Amino acid sequence: MDKLVIEGGRELKGEVRIAGAKNAALPLMAAAILAPGQTTLHNVPDLVDVGTMAEVLEGLGISVDRRNDAMALDATTITSDTAPYELVKTMRASFYALGALVGRLGRAKVSLPGGCAWGPRPVDIHLKGLEALGVKTQLDRGYILADARKMRGCRFVLDFPSVGASVNLLLAAVAAKGETVLENVAREPEVTNLARMLIAMGAPIEGAGTTAFHIEGGHSLNAVDFHVIPDRIEAGTYLAAVGRAGGDVTLVGANPDHLSIILDRSVEAGLKIAVRNDRIRVQSSGKLHPVDIQTEVFPGFATDMQAQWIAMMTGAEGSCLVEDTIYPDRFTHVPELIRLGANIAMRDNIAQVTGPVKLVGAPVMSTDLRASASLVIAALAAKGRTEISRIYHLDRGYERLEEKFAVLGAKIWREEDE
Ligand code: EPZ
């Protein structure tokens, strides 16, 4: 198991290329199940989670061939309808195989995802939506068995604009004969990226990027070449690192439209932001104003940026409140940030962050993907050495993180953890 070692206290300078989005690549890879032939995805990030989804697809009989950031997925023949517990337990997004297999084979056997570091993450909306489409589902020893022989179009209103449920129901509904209307769907750019790929594959879908999808199902779908959108959370993570440590960095290959609320709040916090096409220049003196945040579904402030924002706000002159309305228990990073000297008080799902504090390096532990990113941000600004253990969490969602930060002038390296 590896750890990251960081000698903090250096400003960050230069350019960093933003990779394709993990949370877009995973649904697009699942969509390849729907069409016989070779789907080719471009701008695919090199991440552990992408590797896990590739294993899920290979288990179904799909060949996966990766060349640099392109990935060829040949789904001409599907030999299995099962996504096993061993893979789903390591990555919840494997559950997207359910909607796609229902769409392609009319049946599926997919392990039910368990909880995660911050509590239960139910999939009731996924299952309710499939039932509304006429898919019979039952739980059998930890697996969802789905029978879609009677699947047909319907109107379904999601109780909550869940990203995962919107993905699974889109993947199934494109195969359901007749019209399906999905209301209160997620508007996250990653879901829109999937809807646009399905349209390119031949599925008549209206409403991509809005709160409702109108889908004419049952059309035969073709394999396509398609691009993964840039990772707005990776971009936001580098922005927060510059914000806290100070410096002048340009994020290359980002999509500013996907980051607008994060950019607005960053300007309020005292960062200088200049946008030109897919280049976002971020400048910070390290002197910050406290800015309250409440996480919301897109286009609101992403819960996947909550931990990074808290880390940045440890340098602000005064107090701010950071509330997570999507995952009320998503604060496992707080005790670790306090070990680095942060001043954070928790009340229910609200963190009160008071600064500016002089962070000092110490050994800390990653608990999940974005929590570990917040520890990296704090460690880069901290005086002295920080060792972050269990960084397999980071590798799930950040491509070559220490190399990218080293190019920006950070003193950061990976070591085996005894
Ligand atoms: C996606 O998770 C992302 N994962 C998460 O990013 C992100 O935090 C989340 O959306 C919210 O933006 C991927 O895209 C792979 P949801 P997902 O279904 O689909 C409740 C990261 O760091 N809910 O939108 O699991 C749920 O409990 C990861 O990259 C139900 O109650 O999120 C939560 O409170 C972490 N029933 C809320 O909705 C359901 O059936 C949002 O969940 C489904 C969800």
Dist. CA 93 → ligand 1 center (Å): 10
Residue 143 has pLDDT above 80, yes or no: yes
Instruction: Check pLDDT > 90 for residue 375.
Output: yes
- Compute, in angstroms, the gap from residue 130 CA to the centroid of ligand 1: 18
Residue with CA nearest ligand 1 atom 38: 162
Ligand 1 atom showing the smallest separation from residue 26 Cα: 15
Q: Amino acid letter at 138? A: Q
Position 316 confidence tier, pLDDT thresholds 50, 70, 90: very high
**Per-residue pLDDT tens digits for 327-348:** 999 999 999 999 999 999 999 9
Residue 274 host element (H or E): strand 272-276
Report the pLDDT value the prediction gives residue 116, as an integer from 0 to 100.
75
Query: H-helix or E-strand containing 351?
Result: strand 350-355
Q: In the prediction, which pLDDT does 136 show?
A: 98
> Which ligand 1 atom lies nearest to the CA of residue 127?
40
According to DSSP, the residues that pair with 73 across neighbouring strands are 39, 64
| pTM exceeding the 0.85 threshold for the entire prediction | yes
Q: Which residue has the tokens 């963190």?
A: 351
Q: Radius of gyration over alpha carbons of the chain, in Å?
A: 21
Mutate which of 95, 294, 326 for ligand 1? The one with the most ligand atoms within 8 Å of its CB, which is 326
Q: Where in the sequence numbering do the catalytic residues fall?
A: 116
Reported confidence tier of residue 312, pLDDT bands at 50, 70, 90: very high
Closest CA relative to residue 232, chosen from 290, 298, 276, 166 = 298
CB 373 within 8 A of CB 380: no
Closest CA to 192 of 21, 38, 34: 21
| d(CA 249, ligand 1 centre) in Å | 30
Give the residue whose CA is nearest to atom 44 of ligand 1.
162
**pLDDT for position 119:** 76
Mean pLDDT, the chain, integer: 97
Query: Which residue's CA lies nearest to atom 27 of ligand 1?
Result: 121
Atom in ligand 1 nearest the alpha carbon of residue 167: 19
User: Which pLDDT score is estimated for 384?
Assistant: 98
Q: What is the Cα–Cα distance from 56 to 62, expressed in whole angstroms? A: 9
Q: What is the mean pLDDT of residues 370-396?
A: 97
Nearest to 296 by CA among 270, 325, 274: 325
What span, in angstroms and rounded, lies between the C-alpha atoms of 234 and 198? 25
CA distance 38 to 32: 8
**β-sheet bridge partners, residue 4:** 388, 414
Q: What is the C-alpha to C-alpha distance for residues 100 and 172, in angstroms, rounded to an integer?
A: 6
407 by Cβ neighbours in 10 Å (0-12 / 13-18 / 19+) ranks as middle
Atom number in ligand 1 closest to CA 397:
29
Q: What is the DSSP string of 50-113?
A: HHHHHHHHHHTT-EEEEETTEEEEE-S-----EE-HHHHTT-GGGGGHHHHHHHHHSEEEEEPP
Distance 331 CA to ligand 1 centre (A): 15
What residues contact 95, with CB distance under 8 A and at least 6 apart?
Answer: 83, 88, 110, 111, 112, 113, 123, 126, 164, 168
CB crowding 77-87: b at 16 or more within 10 Å, else e: ebeebbbbbeb
What DSSP designation does 326 have? S
- Type of residue at 247: G
Q: What is the 3-state secondary structure (H, E, C) of 209-250?
A: CCCEEEEEECCCCCCCEEECCECHHHHHHHHHHHHHHCEEEE
Residues with CB under 6 A from ligand 1: 22-23, 26, 92-93, 121-126, 160, 162-165, 303-304, 326-327, 369-370, 397
Is residue 332 helix, strand or coil? coil
pLDDT value at residue 340 = 98
Per-residue pLDDT tens for 41-72?
999 999 999 999 999 999 999 999 999 999 99
d(CA 361, ligand 1 centre) in Å: 32
Judge whether 393 and 16 are in contact, CB under 8 Å.
no
Question: Alpha-carbon distance 50 to 245, whole Å?
Answer: 30
pLDDT tens-digit readout, 108-142: 999 999 767 787 889 999 999 999 999 999 999 99
Tokens of 290: 């406290």
How many whole angstroms separate alpha carbon 382 and alpha carbon 400?
Answer: 21
